[in-house]
Amino acid sequence: MVSAYQLASWIEPLYLKFRDQIDIIGIAAFRGVPDIFRELVRVSIEKLSPKEVLIDWDGEVSRAYGLTFGQCRVVVVAPDGTVVQAVNGTATPATFRRVTDSIADAMQETAAIQSASDENLA
């Protein structure tokens, strides 16, 4: 299980920096949970989490993003689905800067693509 401190060291500062400019989605790996308990787990997560959480029942998402049980991993995914940054563990000033720089770069690139697309439509 990932500690609340590890998660809080990332989620709150990222939210405060970017507010509504980005989506923050948690991934909860529940591989091996019997089908009979899945609805109970889903409802419990919805009640406990103020943010969106993707429940990974079969481990597919965890494998795709290199998640490890018990370790916090922050993955920055551009709007086109490209992984632009991934870091493990509690946020440090250096890792937080790397992640926020990656987010800012992805946002600039997305804005440039959108602007070029708008110009082509005009």
What CATH number is attached to the domain comprising 17? 3.40.30
Q: What is the pLDDT of residue 28?
A: 86
**Does the pLDDT of residue 25 top 80, yes or no?**
yes
- What DSSP state is assigned to residue 46? H
Domain count, the chain: 1
Residue-range definition of the domain harbouring residue 113: 4-121
Distance (Å, whole) CA 91 – CA 108: 23
What pTM was computed for the model?
0.75
Residue closest to 27 by CA, chosen among 36, 10, 80: 10
Q: pLDDT per residue over 62-119, tens digit each?
A: 899 888 887 888 999 988 888 999 998 889 999 999 999 999 999 998 888 888 877 7
